[in-house]
Each structure stands twice: as structure tokens, then as C-alpha cells.
């Protein structure tokens, strides 16, 4: 999914090598095509630690990735004259992905993160390797990377190998115009010289968690926006189902002091302020004591998802500060093997987020369903239909949401609990973090659609409550949905385009912008 409104300020270039890449810089490069530059200090450190690797090149003692084979072949000594071939062979053999192409933003994200690790100087590559990698990214050249090939340990090997292959002038890319072409041809047009890899460099280009981390950061960016949209949808549902906002009071929420819950409840209070529909049933003759859980407990569920996202962001921040490679050049210039490429920390939170996404969507779909049932919708027509029986209203829109939620529950099954041994049992436990990231991206798209269907349904119910007036914020959201092509109540019509219009209003930020403009302050 993409976000065209609440994105980081457009940046002409992001400088890599002045510390960890920020999440906003990653979104700018990956999604909005910002260019990249390498910091001069980074190039100095890269050159310094390259000298450490070169000093070991003629050492009689074996050094993994420099004078030995890889994985289960680590005991094989490689003579000096064949070590350049070793690096080429590594990249070519590991560029073994299969399946559909991975999205451009994912490839750019993983390339930026690999470049950031190269810029630490901990990988032992020559400056020309990092400079060429940066030039490819800066030119908008995107290596063709495939869906399958990473086990999330030793990092995202196949996806990164497809990028390294392009550095060598081989493989396929999408040029800056998105046309799929041979890499050598596109590099030549952009005056980028392919690199002849030397000792350690092929390994340094492919041994990292960059793909799964990039998708985690993009996913967190999108999820935070979606949780605000979910609050807006919940507020519109509470309002149009004649629910109560008393349960969202600050003192009640403070009795259970989860920060995400407090933020969601604050959004709901703000969104419902000034609603004529809410005021219409704040009377002594109202007999409703409390609402169904899908209305009353929205802050608890949406808030738990926020807190889960905060935990995932903490893990991501630590990973952004890492220099993941094996072997690695330590700060005191030792060359050491390690296990930092294992994707478990990232894989776990990717799976955790998929659980939260499924639950938020599940609650949203339940609110949509309440609108359609005359036993629960408090005076609205069956299925919000114009002429029930002749018209079906939003009956099948709820089916669509239910079908998506069912899939999200399947996608919530963790990938990180699986492990299939590889490399002749040398790599006998893997994280499956790449798979966790891929299913999270699909889950976020599903949540976008489920929330959009709730918004569309709540807006129709809101119109059916006329002449009662909604709050300024929820009314503004209703109006932006109408302006986007999602018409109000009336006889049945082709509904799919209206659902897609609502999806784009959520995805593009128009829903949030409408609410915040009416409120004259941001939602959190």
C-alpha cells in the first residue's frame, strides 16, 4: 500500500553514513524516489577497514568468506587466484529467486539498508562497491527481485543477491521509467561501471536482514495511518448506530493506563464532539446501558495495535543501528564470524503485527455487520437498502469484508515458528522473516479495504439519520467519500467502484485529512 498525504517531507537526497537511516528517510527513498549520497566520513571508514581485509588475503590461516567457501563449504580453502571468481560465483548462484516480482519500494528499501550497512565500514568492501551501489539506487534503477528465495537467515540472501548481480552488470532491472531491461544496458546508459568483486565483497552484499527490515518499516508507516482511519471509522459507527461516547471518557481510560488505548479514546472523543446525532439520544428516556464490544471496546483493540506497533518500532530502531554481516570487521579491526544475520528479532514483530492487523479488521467488520441487521441497527432499513427486497444495499459489501477478514486470520498464523534446515544442515535453523514480511504487506492491504467498507457503510447510515447532523469531523469524512465517488443512499448500483473509491480515500490519506481539517488539529 502507499500513502500520498501523510508522508515525510519530500527529500531530494538522503545522505547515508551519518548514523542509522531514519524511518522517514527510508520511506522517502523507497516510496517517493528520493536519491542517495554517501557521507565522506563513511567512505573514509570503508577504505580504512578494507585494508584489514586485504591484509588477510594472503594469510595462510583460513578466513570465512575471504579464503574459504560458504555455508557448508566453509572448510574448502580457495587459492588466491580464484577468490574473485569465488565472489562472482557466490552472487550468481545465490540469485536464485522465483515467482512474481517484488514491489519497487521494497527493493529500494532493502538496497538503502544494505548501503547503510556498507557505509558503517564493518563489512570490509572497497569504497567503489558502496559508491556503485549508491549510484544504482540514486539513478532509480531497480533490480528485479522475486517473491521466493529468502529464508530470513543468513539474511535475505536471494533478494540481496539479485541486487548484487546488477552491481556486476548482470541480471535484469527496471529502469527509471519502469521498463524491464538487461542490467548491463541500463548501467551503460547511466554511465555506471559494473564492479569486479574482490575478496569478501560478494558476501558483504548479500548477508543481511535488509528486506524484512525494509518491509517492517514501510508496514509500520502504513499501519500507523490505518489505525487513525480505524478510529475514524469506529467513531462514525458509534455515532450512526446511536451508541454512547461516555465509555471513552479520559478518567475511565486512565484506569487501564495503556498509552495506545488512551490515544485511540482521545481520537474518538474528539471525532464525536459536537455531534447532533449523539445529542439526540442523550435523554432520560434512553434505555441503552452499554454498547456491544465492537463499539465499546474500540480503544482497547485499536490501542493494543498501537502499542504493538510501538514495540515493533523499537525492534526496528535497534536493527537500523546494526551492521549485519558475516564475517564482520569489529571496531578493533578483528574479522569475526557471528550470527547477527539471523532474522528472529524482526520476524517475531512482523508476525505480531499481522495478529494486530487481523484483530483490528475483525472488529471493523463486526461494526459493519451491525448496520445491516434490523435487530441491531436501531431503526435503519435492512442492509441499508433503499427498497429492501428489491434492493440489497450493502449486504454483499459485508461479505467482501468478511472474506478479507477470514484471509487476515490465516495470514496471522506466524511464519517465524517454521524452520526448514538448509545448506547441508549448516544453516539448520532459519527465521522465515521474509515470509512474515510478505504476508504483513498483504494483511495491511486487507485492513485498508475492511476499514474502507466500514467507512462507506457508516456514511450511508449517517445520511439515513437525517435530519440529525453528524459531528463536524465525521460529517467532513462523509463528504470526502461522497466527493471521491461513493454516492449516498439510493437504489442499488454497481458497488465495486464505490468501494475502491473509499479504499483510495483511506490509502491516500483523504479520510484523515478531512477529519483533521474539520478539527483543526491532528489525530494521533
| Closest C-alpha among 470, 472, 478 to residue 511 | 478
Count CB-CB contacts under 10 A for residue 379.
8
d(CA 358, CA 342): 26
The helix, strand and coil proportions of the chain, stated in percent and rounded to the nearest 5, come to 55, 5, 35
Residue with cell 547503510: 116
- 64: annotated active-site residue: yes
Specify which residues 143 forms β-bridges with: 173
| Closest C-alpha among 152, 277, 135, 129 to residue 208 | 152
Q: Are 327 and 207 in contact (CB under 8 A)?
A: no
Which three cell numbers mark 413?
498464523
27: CB partners within 8 A, 6+ apart? 7, 8, 217, 218, 221
**DSSP assigned state of 335:** E
3-state secondary structure 163-202: HHHHHCCCCEEECCCCCEEEHHHHHHHCCCCCCCCCCCHH
Residue with cell 490509502: 507
d(CA 121, CA 261): 42
Torsion sign (Cα): 270, 250, 362, 398: negative
| Closest C-alpha among 106, 165, 177 to residue 133 | 165
Backbone angles phi, psi at 99, to 5 degrees: 95, -170
**DSSP assigned state of 326:** S
d(CA 63, CA 185): 36
Q: Is 425 left (phi over 0), alpha (psi -120 to 50) or beta?
A: left
- Which residues form the catalytic set? 64
Amino acid at each position: 500500500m502507499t500513502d500520498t498525504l501523510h508522508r515525510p517531507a519530500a527529500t531530494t537526497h538522503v545522505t547515508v553514513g551519518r548514523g542509522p537511516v531514519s524511518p522517514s528517510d527510508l520511506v522517502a527513498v523507497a516510496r517517493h524516489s528520493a536519491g542517495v549520497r554517501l557521507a565522506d566520513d563513511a567512505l573514509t571508514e570503508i577504505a580504512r577497514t578494507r585494508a584489514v581485509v586485504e591484509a588477510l588475503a594472503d594469510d595462510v590461516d583460513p578466513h570465512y568468506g575471504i579464503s574459504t567457501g560458504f555455508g557448508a563449504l566453509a572448510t574448502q580453502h580457495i587459492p588466491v587466484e580464484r577468490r574473485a571468481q569465488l565472489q562472482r560465483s557466490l552472487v550468481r548462484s545465490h540469485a536464485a529467486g522465483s515467482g512474481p516480482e517484488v514491489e519497487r519500494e521494497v527493493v529500494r528499501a532493502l538496497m538503502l539498508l544494505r548501503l547503510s550497512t556498507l557505509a558503517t565500514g564493518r563489512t570490509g568492501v572497497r569504497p567503489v562497491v558502496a559508491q556503485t551501489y549508491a549510484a544504482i539506487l540514486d539513478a532509480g534503477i531497480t533490480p528485479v527481485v522475486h517473491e521466493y528465495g529468502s529464508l530470513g537467515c543468513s539474511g535475505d540472501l536471494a533478494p540481496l543477491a539479485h541486487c548484487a548481480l546488477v552491481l556486476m552488470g548482470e541480471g535484469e532491472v527496471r529502469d527509471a521509467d519502469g521498463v524491464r531491461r538487461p542490467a548491463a544496458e541500463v548501467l551503460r546508459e547511466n554511465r555506471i561501471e559494473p564492479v569486479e568483486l574482490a575478496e569478501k565483497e560478494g558476501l558483504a552484499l548479500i548477508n543481511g536482514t535488509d528486506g524484512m527490515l525494509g518491509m517492517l518499516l514501510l508496514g509500520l508507516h502504513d499501519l500507523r495511518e490505518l489505525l487513525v482511519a480505524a478510529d475514524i471509522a469506529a467513531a462514525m459507527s458509534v455515532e450512526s448506530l446511536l451508541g454512547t461516547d461516555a465509555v471513552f471518557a479520559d478518567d475511565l481510560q486512565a484506569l487501564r493506563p495503556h498509552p495506545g488505548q488512551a490515544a485511540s479514546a482521545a481520537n474518538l472523543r474528539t471525532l464525536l464532539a459536537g455531534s447532533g446525532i449523539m445529542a439526540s439520544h442523550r435523554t432520560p428516556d434512553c434505555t441503552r446501558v452499554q454498547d456491544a464490544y465492537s463499539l465499546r471496546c474500540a480503544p482497547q483493540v485499536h490501542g493494543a495495535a498501537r502499542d504493538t506497533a510501538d514495540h515493533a518500532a523499537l525492534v526496528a530502531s535497534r536493527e537500523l543501528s546494526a551492521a549485519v554481516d558475516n564475517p564482520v570487521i569489529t571496531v578493533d579491526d578483528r574479522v569475526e564470524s557471528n550470527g547477527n544475520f539471523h532474522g528472529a528479532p524482526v520476524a517475531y514483530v512482523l508476525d505480531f503485527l499481522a495478529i494486530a492487523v487481523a484483530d483490528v479488521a475483525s472488529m471493523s467488520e463486526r461494526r459493519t455487520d451491525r448496520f445491516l441487521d434490523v435487530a441491531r441497527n436501531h431503526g435503519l432499513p435492512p442492509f441499508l437498502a433503499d427498497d429492501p427486497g428489491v434492493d440489497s444495499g450493502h449486504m454483499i459489501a459485508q461479505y467482501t469484508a468478511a472474506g478479507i477478514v477470514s484471509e487476515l486470520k490465516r495470514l496471522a498464523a506466524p511464519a517465524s515458528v517454521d524452520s526448514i534446515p538448509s545448506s547441508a544442515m549448516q544453516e539448520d535453523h532459519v527465521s522465515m522473516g521474509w515470509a512474515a514480511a510478505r504476508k504483513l504487506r498483504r494483511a495491511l492491504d486487507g485492513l485498508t479495504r475492511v476499514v474502507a467498507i466500514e467507512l462507506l457503510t457508516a456514511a450511508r447510515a449517517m445520511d439515513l439519520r437525517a435530519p440529525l447532523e453528524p459531528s463536524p469531523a465525521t460529517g467532513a469524512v462523509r463528504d470526502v467519500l461522497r466527493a471521491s465517488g461513493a454516492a449516498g443512499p439510493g437504489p442499488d448500483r454497481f458497488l465495486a467502484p464505490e468501494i475502491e473509491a473509499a479504499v483510495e480515500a483511506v490509502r491516500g490519506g483523504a479520510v484523515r485529512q478531512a477529519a483533521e481539517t474539520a478539527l483543526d488539529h491532528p489525530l494521533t
